[in-house]
Amino acid sequence: MSVAGTVAFAPAGAYASSKHAQLAFSRSLAAALRGSGISVHAVMPGFVETEGFPQKGVLRSRLLGRFVIQPPRVAEAIVGAVEKGKREVTVPWFPYRLVSIAQVLAPGLVARFSGMSDYRPGSI
């Protein structure tokens, strides 16, 4: 999953749409399985540096580059979510969870800023 499931990110509309669908499915599945003893966890990382998605190579903004994380951090978040029984986890919490909250409270403002994100077109 991805934090893109909680934020409409202008430069990556198709990607964000697919992640929104995954999050909705996760939430629906969690509700359907409630009381069954089966847990559903959604771990939503922000930018993660991987071979297939070299984030630091496509981010022009130094500010955004500061929030790129490595895969082991995501793995730790997955283990933590399962161990603590958390249904949804954003990793890292700052700044991504704040942006997710802003999306709910002020979608127009988030849309304006995501259009100026310095993310190179075609990188996703």
What is residue 57's predicted lDDT score, i.e. its pLDDT?
67
Three-state DSSP at 59 gives strand
Q: In CATH, what class is 3-114?
A: alpha beta
> 10-residue block means of pLDDT along the chain (124 residues)?
81 86 95 96 91 72 80 96 95 89 85 64 48
Residue extents of the structural domains in the chain: 3-114
> Considering the entire predicted model, what is its pTM?
0.77
Handedness of CA 50, 53, 57, 60 (dihedral sign): negative
Q: Provide the token pair at 123.
A: 């990188």
